[in-house]
Amino acid sequence: MGQAGDSEQKRELLAAEMFTPPLLHDFLRDIENTSHSVEVWDRLVQLGRQLDLPFIDFITVSTSSEGQQRLFVRTSYDARWLNRENQDPENAEWSYFRTHASKHLTPILIGYEFIDDYLHLPQRRVEVLSEAARRGMRAGFSVPLRVNAPPQSGIINFSGDHSRRDMLAIVKAHGWALNVAALLAHQRYMAHFVSEYFDRNQISDKQRELLELIGRGLQDKQIAADLGISVSALRQRMHSLMAKTGCSNRAEIAALAMSAGLVPELQGMRETADTAHIVVQMDGLGVRHLTLPRRGDQSQQNSK
């Protein structure tokens, strides 16, 4: 697998693209070329190291009426000591994720150097930040993340062994680039991670096909007819699919199909074999429903 950012793979930028800082447009051009989530992560860590912020945290959490469940944690360093600290629920409640990133969208400065700029913290959490500083994470920059289908919150932190003054200088020079890089790296990472779901969980092509048909809202008889099997055989396949994916009902399978990109999110658009039906909202003019021919279809465009 080639490394993202190899010089021979980089495309030439248009003049209109070069208004952003070179650090940023080089990073974005590099992750355009990635084909796997680990490549995006490696490039994000490389970006942090370029700015002397080598300690990177990436956390995502599902959000629902039943509360929050941690889905994914990735770090560029040995975080076992911090994981042990967060086993204490009261201590974990004061994490930057829970106190800020799960509620807000603004990036924040983090770490022991900025403790006086943050919420009043209990002594136990102050001790955790002090230990992090001793390990080289004195100050950092934290970017909140969002995914809406299914609902998730997340955070990417860039930290290093810096004084307050030096960290402020890094953010003044590169804060915009770090913020945009984190947001777009998150999108790119999750797109790859979702597409890798089937390989990670050894989902067969037949199971993937079944997942898509359920996600499209088809009932058992129609799915069985499409697959050329009996309803009884279909339900056996569905049971096997649920066991492998951890889903407990059709609604969860449908949600998985949507999050895995097998069926489109429902945002006012639906497609048939020949046309795409799009809802267009224009301020002052209301809503229009457009029917557009799909590529290769020479039929007349209709609008209502």
Would you state the pLDDT for residue 303? 43
Model confidence at 186, in pLDDT bands (50, 70, 90)? very high
Model confidence at 266, in pLDDT bands (50, 70, 90)? very low
Would you state the pLDDT for residue 156? 97
Cα–Cα distance for residue pair 90/39, rounded to 1 Å: 35
Neighbour count for residue 224 (Cβ, 10 Å): 19
Model confidence at 273, in pLDDT bands (50, 70, 90)? low
Cα–Cα distance for residue pair 146/104, rounded to 1 Å: 10
Q: Looking at the chain, which residues constitute the CATH 3.30.450.80 domain(s)?
A: 7-195
Cα–Cα distance for residue pair 51/181, rounded to 1 Å: 13
Would you state the pLDDT for residue 9? 67
283: phi then psi, degrees, rounded to nearest 5: -55, 130
Among the listed residues 142, 214, 139, the one whose alpha carbon sits nearest the alpha carbon of residue 179: 142
Model confidence at 68, in pLDDT bands (50, 70, 90)? low
Instruction: Considering only the C-alpha atoms of the chain, give the largest distance between any 2 of them, rounded to a whole number of Å.
Output: 70
Q: Looking at the chain, which residues constitute the CATH 1.10.10.10 domain(s)?
A: 201-259
Chain centre distance of CA 130: 30
Query: Is pLDDT at 8 greater than 80 in this prediction?
Result: no
Would you state the pLDDT for residue 7? 45
What pTM was computed for the model?
Answer: 0.76
* CATH assignment, 201-259: 1.10.10.10
Would you state the pLDDT for residue 297? 46
> Residue 98 is which amino acid?
R
**Mean per-residue pLDDT of the chain:** 85
Neighbour count for residue 17 (Cβ, 10 Å): 12
Model confidence at 170, in pLDDT bands (50, 70, 90)? very high
From 95-109, 208-222, 230-244, 278-292, the region with the lowest mean pLDDT: 278-292
The angle at the Cα of 66, spanning 249 to 95, to the nearest 5 degrees, equals 130
Among the listed residues 162, 166, 137, the one whose alpha carbon sits nearest the alpha carbon of residue 75: 137
Would you state the pLDDT for residue 149? 60
Strand partners, 33: none
Those residues whose C-beta lies under 8 Å from the C-beta of residue 66, and which sit 6 or more positions away, are: none
Q: Pairing between strand 286-293 and 275-282?
A: antiparallel
Chain position carrying tokens 């994490």:
95
Cα–Cα distance for residue pair 185/27, rounded to 1 Å: 9
From 58-67, 131-140, 178-187, the region with the lowest mean pLDDT: 58-67
Residue of higher predicted confidence among 101 and 89: 101
Mean pLDDT of 164-185: 98
Would you state the pLDDT for residue 265? 53
Sign of CA dihedral 253, 258, 264, 269: positive
Confirm if 153 and 171 have CB atoms less than 8 A apart. Answer: no
Q: Highest mean pLDDT range out of 5-14, 205-214, 275-284?
A: 205-214
* CATH assignment, 7-195: 3.30.450.80
Strand partners, 277: 270, 291
Residue of higher predicted confidence among 164 and 7: 164
